[in-house]
Amino acid sequence: MRALLAAVLLLGAAACGANAGTTGGAWKPRGDVRMIVPFAAGGGSDLAGRAVAAALEKAQPGLTVTVENRDGGSGAVGYSGLLGKKGNGNYLIATENAILSLPLSGQVSFTRKDFTPVAKLAEDGGIVVVKPDSPFKSCTDVVNAAKGGRVSVGMSGAYGVDNVIFTMIEQKTGAKFQRVPFESGGELVPAVLGGQIQAALLNPGEVIGQLRSGDLKGLCVTTEKRYTYPEFSALATAKEQGIDVSYVQFRGILAAGGLDERERAYWESAARGVTRTPEFQKWLKDNYLQQAELYGDDFGTYLEQLDTALAPVLKKPS
């Protein structure tokens, strides 16, 4: 009987080790890892997710990260997909500000606390763009027009970073914009070009081609300071134009909730290797982002602080 019990316990321990993907006490993923992108292909979040997935593979030889676009609900579909993977260390999401704005909108049941903070890796600014024949010559022109008339602006998700910025502008200036939602920044460019909307707020990497070709023109940037990249250094900040608003989009990684310490440690270590890869640095340069790193609990604290700052901007009155 004792021999049988010992054999059962030994088999049980071996099974637990296999399920946990352990090697000498350390955890690692078994099989392919899924990187969920909660927006459609072609936008800034998609570019970020694919770049970070490639950088993770470079930083962790033998790791395979498959990118999966789960768009819909302004990011809610993708985050809900990760919510259902609680305790599964093989799932990640390319996260950004929607993880805060969606819960504050009251449209979803999850919050940032349902996921595991892995890393903040970069910050992505915004440029207000219009067609070259637009009567608007500055962001001040757009705001003044929206104070007394109809100005349509595109939203890459009804609760995305552009909604946050336009809401901040409304609260600061008294302007009122007509919002037209789309699923990603990739859909906003043709919408502006086709005249469906009058203006849009886009990340530099989403619109650099159209700015270079002259198909679109930039009016201002919503960063605290002007870009140092020469392609955008001539663009004034919104604050320089008298609009007291600045806000950036963070780019990072969340894992599923309910991970143990070994799983958390693995992903934090893997993320630290991401920024040292040529793939990551190329993505930064090609898309005009700023490297900005926080890991694990420090990233969690950042999310908490940003959540508190956004609450008065986005929270619906009860």
- What pLDDT digit, counting tens, does each position of 222-257 carry? 999 999 899 999 999 999 999 999 999 999 999 999
DSSP code for 86: T
Classify residue 7: in a domain, yes or no.
no
Q: Which domain holds residue 171?
A: 127-221
d(CA 27, CA 50): 24
User: Per the structure block, which two tokens stand in for 204?
Assistant: 């530099």
HSE-CB at 315 with a 13 A cutoff on CA atoms is 8
Domains of the chain: total: 2
Residue 62: CATH number of its domain:
3.40.190.150
d(CA 181, CA 134): 21
- Residue 80 and residue 138 in one domain: no
CA angle, residues 199, 227, 40, in degrees to nearest 5:
50
- Residue 183 and residue 108 in one domain: no
- Residue 32 and residue 46 in one domain: yes
Residue ranges in the chain modelled with pLDDT below 70: 1-24, 315-318
Cβ neighbourhood burial of 21 (10 Å; 0-12, 13-18, 19+):
middle
Residue 200: CATH number of its domain:
3.40.190.10
- Residue 202 and residue 144 in one domain: yes
- Residue 253 and residue 119 in one domain: yes
- Residue 147 and residue 295 in one domain: no
Classify residue 17: in a domain, yes or no.
no
- Residue 202 and residue 177 in one domain: yes
Q: Name which of 56, 36, 48 is nearest 185 in CA terms.
A: 48
- Residue 115 and residue 132 in one domain: no
Classify residue 40: in a domain, yes or no.
yes
- Residue 35 and residue 120 in one domain: yes
d(CA 159, CA 315): 11
Query: Tell me, what's the pLDDT at 12?
Result: 39
Query: Tell me, what's the pLDDT at 186?
Result: 81
User: Per the structure block, which two tokens stand in for 251?
Assistant: 């780019």
Query: Tell me, what's the pLDDT at 231?
Result: 92
Beta-bridge partners for 254: 93, 117
CB 102, CB 161: distance < 8 Å: no
- Residue 135 and residue 108 in one domain: no
Classify residue 131: in a domain, yes or no.
yes
CA angle, residues 83, 86, 91, in degrees to nearest 5:
80
Q: What is the pLDDT of residues 8-59, one digit of tens each?
A: 333 333 334 334 454 457 899 999 999 999 998 988 899 999 999 999 999 9
